Structure 1
Amino acid sequence: MKKSFLFIPALFAASIAFSQEKIDLQAIEKIKKEGLENSQVNKIAFELVDKAGPRLSNSEGYKRATDYAVEQLTAWGLENAKTEAWGEFGRGWEMEKSYVAMTKPYYMPFIAIPKAWTESTNGEVSGKVVFIEATTEEDLAKYKGKLKGAIIAIKPSGDQSPTFEADATRFTEEELNAMAEPPAERAGGSRFTPEQMQALRAARAFSMRISEFLNEEGAALIIKGVNGRHGTLFTSSPRGYLKDTPVGVPELETAPENVNLLARLVENGVDVEVEAEIKSRYLTDDLQGYNVIAEIPGTDPSLKSELVMLGGHLDSWHGANGATDNAAGCIVMMEAVRILKATGLQPKRTIRIALWGGEEQGLHGSRNYVQNHFADRASMELKPDHEKLSAYYNIDNGTGKIRGIYLQGNEAVGPIFDQWFKPVDDLIENRTITIRDTGGTDHQSFDAVGLPGFQFIQDPIEYRTRTHHTNMDNFERLELDDLRQMAVIVASFVYNTAQRDEKLPREELPKVN
């Protein structure tokens, strides 16, 4: 049974009756037919995931992906397809060899990934394992002068006990219904108390201090247990990528079960030895960061200078091929513009796709693009194109199908989106529109300067349990039918935005801090 949930404040509820949107239903049917019957999602996924490989920012894999995207978008008939520099990012990094195994008391290969931007080891290193347990400078002092050439192990902090819930899930009707309600107020707007924030900052600072100490002492390698279960490990904490980052200790991140095994053996008086080797290299010829940009020019003489944007981040982490984070979003957005070109529809406004770089290190690609083209968040100095953008749409929550959209606090667009969803409601179960914000994706770069930026609600599937920043984020984790559904819905939203007589309503400009 299909239902829809829409949170509409009382102020706007009465406006629905007299603000009927003009929707070209024939155009929407063309979009649905092309996207569902002639989809190229599978082909795009192969190119971005399997063929390009891991797409760490400024890596060779990222360049393979940008080259493919520019070539393919051009072949589909988009104009001005290019890579556009947004500013200095830093060094690229390539992993050429990674190996670690326990060799005593018996041989066992480990599941491990070099930390991004880590240095190489000095060839193969081997020896006994030393566990570091320190929370203060006094604790560190106990190890001074004892770690030259040592292989350091650090135990994981997360919970590795069995779970009794499915890895892959879809939102239930009850969950979506609850999501449609306005969020409960949180003191200070944070889920952490000031005391908790202070403790987190202190823990982060001391972790950096441990790394500095191990470098000063001349340790040969760090093997760190990270969060995960059943062979899945989460990796997203890089060594420095900036051009002037000092040399550090080579570091491997490994499945928690591996380090826990080492720890239990050592704690019970068993001699433990490992051998390992990391070979990596830095790319320093070009330190600029790049986005991919392409356009479908508008056709209306009065509106073609205005913009509708859609995008997702093309960069990934390096432990796998970045299928759900976020090749999925780029596949959907590329397929959406392909659909619009293939249908022969003539949008009034210009449609611009952006595939972002540097998202994983802090939304760098989109934030700098917004600063370069629309506004400076720090001063709120607006550029001429700020007035021209109607909306930006983003996909970056994995491979799960669209179940609705976050309004990001923009109440006035709720009734509009409700009407836009209706022609595609046959593709959505329990469709939901919520006033709530969502974070951690590139739409925030637009929202931060008062531009309408939106992220769609997506089914979680295995995103938080198996694929987000893990060594399991490969092609097999993509739900191709879900990607087809997303591309059709995104294409319809983008087209409706391009055809609307007026730009979408905006919230007030943010205040300068």
Structure 2
Amino acid sequence: MISNKIIRNTFLALFLMTFSAYSQNKEENKVVEDIIKEANENSQLESLAHHLLDVIGPRLVGTPQMKQANDWVVDTYDDWGISAENEQWGEWKAWERGITHVDMVSPRVQSLEGMQLAWSPSTPQEGITAEVIAIPRIKDSLDFVKWLPNVKGKFVLTSMKQITGRPDENWEEFATETSYERMKQQRDSLTKEWLQNIARTGYGRRGIIKAFEDAGAAGILSSYWSKGFGVNRIFSSRTDNIPTLDIEMEDYTMLYRLAESGNTPTLKVVAQSKDLGVVPTFNTIGKIEGKELPNEYVILSAHLDSWDGATGATDNGTGTILMMEVMRILKKVYPNPKRTILVGHWGSEEQGLNGSRAFVEDHPEIVEHVQAVFNQDNGTGRVIEISGAGYLNAYDYISRWMYPVPREIKDQIKTDFPGSPSSGGSDNASFVAAGVPAFYLSALDWSYRKYTWHTNRDTYDKIVFDDVRSNVILTAIMAYMASEDPNLASREKIVLPIDPRTGEQKIWPEQRSPKRRGGLDD
């Protein structure tokens, strides 16, 4: 027979367990409620975006603006009582963009829209005035060698002529089916002929640029159209001594038509820039130290750098301000986390995940004890998909961490478990390669690929702050729950499937070293 004392002790133990669970749930609910309230009623997103994008502007690695951004993030965290520092991981070719003016002065006068590409050599102060020339139809490499001296002293058109400036969806909406199909066939034919013509020169699309420069061209003109109205992608120059400019598609194709028809256009180009030698490059790391498990980590991840066709608003200004706002809120409502919460604002993601790869390589003592990494880097939209990244038990812990997220946010998110490991694309891949549970918070498109990704239109006005605020709530709650989880997340990986292209089993992505001397050892 069970004694009354045993019964009393059993009930007491059950009561204490129930009370402890109740207290824990009550505390958990309070933190979640405070996160939501702070995000909705005291958002700092607009002011953060204004300073980062309007005041500092684009953040190309190696530019003074990138260092300004590093320092501003540190100062902002300091104002919030968050420890932060710039951690050098390499050095880069230093360069600063100046003004660009492109004016057609013949056969008529018109100012054109264009800009020099990153790391382009400068024009003289007075600019360059020269005719424009297009590549003719080439028979073979000998024919190209005979023609090549014609580029001396001229701006050379090095991108194909587009036949329409309308996006395909515009054609689909308004054109007849016959007209739309005719346009696509004509475009496909012209694209094929353009590529074949370049191949007949004996050069690739990159090597031919060097050939034009060596032959005395005044400058290189290109147009990397994104197939959206008025939008071009802006990347880097590949010349050593002459300027390279991207010209907006509408203006570029006008120049091409004029050059082809014999109404040769003449341009005056002033494209100022400064070669500033070599500068150190940094990751900016912020930290809220854990009280119980300070040597275990939850990492918030977003790259700070951008290309500089515009101000890098959605790639990755939105990810940057998202993670800054999450850190601000957690410091305010959850100042004593169980695990240390780190935020990484990585440098030179755009040139190959260099900053995050350097962090992973330089900090094995942190990487070994990471609970989770949450990375965001594909535009302004609300998160709509989270993958388990190839970790066998990701369903168990991701589901727990998402449980308190408000239903109106959570119900829009598709999960994919166990998913597959990312081998590139964004900074989560640097951690996945090291076996760390790193998760990509994939956002609603908002025409990201066509209109803002790496383009001349990636500006503040494209941000949808309601969606970013939703992501703040999601990320802050998941970071809080991951910090409080009694267990360290499992790193057990799935057995990867057979690759249908090779017939062999896929392998987990390998950890790669960063490029630590950008533009200097090429």
TM-aligned CA deviation for residue 495 of structure 1: 1.0
Tell me what 2:133 maps to.
Answer: 130
CA distance in 1, matches of 2:325, 2:460: 17
Cα RMSD between the aligned structures?
2.6
Tell me what 2:499 maps to.
Answer: none
Tell me what 2:283 maps to.
Answer: 291
TM-aligned CA deviation for residue 93 of structure 1: 1.3
CA distance in 2, matches of 1:205, 1:495: 54
How has the CA–CA distance of structure 1 residues 488 and 139 changed in structure 2, closer, same or farther, with 3 Å as cutoff?
farther
Tell me what 1:326 maps to.
Answer: 316
TM-aligned CA deviation for residue 387 of structure 1: 2.0
Tell me what 2:183 maps to.
Answer: none
SS in 2 for 1:354: strand
Tell me what 1:360 maps to.
Answer: 350
Percentage identity across paired residues of the two chains: 32
Kept in 2, the 8 Å contact 1:156–1:256? The answer is no
- Bigger helix fraction: 2
Alignment map for 1:32-111 (pairs within 5 Å) = 32-79=36-83, 81-88=84-91, 90-111=92-113
Kept in 1, the 8 Å contact 2:223–2:246? The answer is yes
SS in 1 for 2:242: coil
TM-aligned CA deviation for residue 332 of structure 1: 0.2
Deviations 1:73-97 (A, max 9, x none): 1111112x11100123x21211112
Q: Does 1:223 align with 2:224?
A: no
Higher relative contact order, structure no. (Cα contacts within 8 Å, ≥ 6 residues apart)? 1
Runs of 4+ in 1 over 6 A off after TM superposition: 202-205
Kept in 1, the 8 Å contact 2:48–2:321? The answer is yes
Kept in 2, the 8 Å contact 1:211–1:249? The answer is no
Greater displacement, 274-283 / 334-343: 274-283
SS in 1 for 2:306: coil
CA distance in 1, matches of 2:218, 2:344: 42
Alignment map for 1:140-179 (pairs within 5 Å) = 140-156=144-160, 160-163=164-167, 165=169
TM-aligned CA deviation for residue 511 of structure 1: 7.9
CA distance in 1, matches of 2:462, 2:510: 42
SS in 2 for 1:77: coil
TM-aligned CA deviation for residue 493 of structure 1: 1.0
Unaligned runs of 5+ in 1: 1-19, 167-198, 241-245, 375-383
Tell me what 1:235 maps to.
Answer: 234
TM-score (norm 2): 0.79
Structure 2 residue identity aligned to 1:453: A
TM-aligned CA deviation for residue 225 of structure 1: 1.8
Kept in 1, the 8 Å contact 2:258–2:264? The answer is yes
Greater displacement, 362-371 / 342-351: 342-351
Structure 1 residue identity aligned to 2:86: T
Q: Does 1:402 align with 2:406?
A: no
TM-score (norm 1): 0.80
SS in 2 for 1:144: helix
SS in 2 for 1:495: helix
Match of 2:118 among 116, 119, 125: 116
Tell me what 2:516 maps to.
Answer: none
Match of 1:347 among 314, 332, 337: 337
Unaligned runs of 5+ in 2: 1-20, 171-195, 494-506, 512-522
Deviations 1:3-26 (A, max 9, x none): xxxxxxxxxxxxxxxxx9x87222
Kept in 2, the 8 Å contact 1:222–1:249? The answer is yes
SS in 2 for 1:505: coil
How has the CA–CA distance of structure 1 residues 420 and 497 changed in structure 2, closer, same or farther, with 3 Å as cutoff?
closer
Tell me what 2:408 maps to.
Answer: 426
Deviations 1:39-89 (A, max 9, x none): 11111111111111111112111112111100011111112x11100123x
Deviations 1:201-227 (A, max 9, x none): x89971221111112111111111221
CA distance in 2, matches of 1:256, 1:67: 36
How has the CA–CA distance of structure 1 residues 158 and 328 changed in structure 2, closer, same or farther, with 3 Å as cutoff?
farther
TM-aligned CA deviation for residue 436 of structure 1: 4.6
